[in-house]
């Protein structure tokens, strides 16, 4: 199983429509996705949900094949209706890339959205994810968030768990604990996702 995640701060300057290149949608989205955006009452949230879906799927695919490049239009997103007016909730769907189908969840809370894409679920695997506010060093903050959350979920002393390597791996006293860990940060937020297998 491979997993990827992406967080978007919906209030960040680069997510505002005025800050986008006029051809951004044309360069990034497929015709069916652009049609969805044109019909949507929540275009701002939908745009970034589609973007985060593509980014998270790319990260999952990159783990499986290091040669994969991020070409957004090659990642086709199918997404259920987003929560009304971008309020709290979850949209589910899939991302297809070169015949591979990844399962997708997009968690929206009004200030950020968090997409998690994963390949076929392993028997007994549990999805674990969390979003938090970024500290002054988002890279260190997201690693701390992942280590603490994974340690707590497995009943371990969180201080004995650390996130290391590229791609990220959760280590307990230097030994691999969880090998599919995805980290992301944007604006005010950090987020991670992983699959716990018991």
CATH of the domain at 40: 3.90.470.20
Residue 20's pLDDT band, with cuts at 50, 70 and 90, is confident
Domain count, the chain: 1
Which tens digits make up the pLDDT trace of 166-176?
889 999 988 99
190 pLDDT more than 80: yes
Domain span holding position 134:
3-197
> For position 121, what pLDDT does the model report?
65
pLDDT of residue 32: 95
Per-residue model confidence (pLDDT) at position 47:
93
**Average per-residue pLDDT for the chain:** 90
State the number of CA atoms in the 13 A half-sphere of 156 facing the CB. Answer: 18
pLDDT digits (tens, 9 = 90+) for 48-71: 999 999 999 999 999 999 999 999
H or E segment to which residue 54 belongs:
helix 43-64
| Per-residue model confidence as pLDDT tens digits over 81-107 | 877 655 788 999 999 999 999 999 999
The fraction of the chain above a pLDDT of 90, given in percent, is: 69
Q: How many CA atoms lie within 13 A of 65 on its CB side?
A: 11
pLDDT interval class at 135 (50, 70, 90): confident
Q: How confident is the model at residue 14 (pLDDT cuts 50, 70, 90)?
A: confident
88 vs 123: CA distance, rounded Å: 29
Contact between 178 and 161 (Cβ < 8 Å): no
For residues 169 and 42, which has the higher predicted lDDT (pLDDT)?
169
**pTM of the model as a whole:** 0.92
166/63 Cα distance (integer angstroms): 10
Among the listed ranges 35-44, 80-89, 136-145, which one has the minimum average pLDDT value?
80-89
Query: Residue 128's closest CA among 188, 59, 181, 55?
Result: 181
């Amino acid at each position: 199983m491979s997993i990827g995640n992406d967080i978007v701060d919906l209030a960040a300057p680069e997510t505002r429509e005025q800050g986008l290149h006029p051809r951004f949608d044309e360069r990034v989205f497929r015709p069916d996705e652009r049609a969805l955006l044109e019909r949507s009452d929540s275009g701002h949230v939908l745009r970034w949900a589609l973007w985060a879906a593509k980014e998270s799927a790319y990260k999952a695919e990159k783990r499986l094949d290091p040669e994969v490049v991020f070409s957004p239009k090659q990642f086709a997103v199918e997404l259920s209706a987003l929560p009304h007016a971008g309020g709290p909730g979850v949209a589910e769907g899939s991302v297809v890339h070169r015949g591979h189908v990844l399962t997708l969840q997009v968690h929206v809370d009004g200030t950020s959205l968090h997409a998690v894409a994963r390949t076929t679920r392993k028997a007994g695997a549990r999805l674990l994810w969390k979003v938090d506010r970024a500290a002054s060093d988002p890279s260190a903050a997201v690693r701390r968030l992942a280590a603490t959350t994974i340690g707590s979920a497995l009943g371990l002393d969180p201080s004995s768990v650390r996130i290391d390597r590229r791609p990220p791996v959760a280590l307990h006293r230097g030994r691999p604990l969880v090998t599919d860990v995805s980290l992301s940060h944007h604006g005010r937020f950090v987020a991670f996702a992983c699959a716990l297998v018991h």
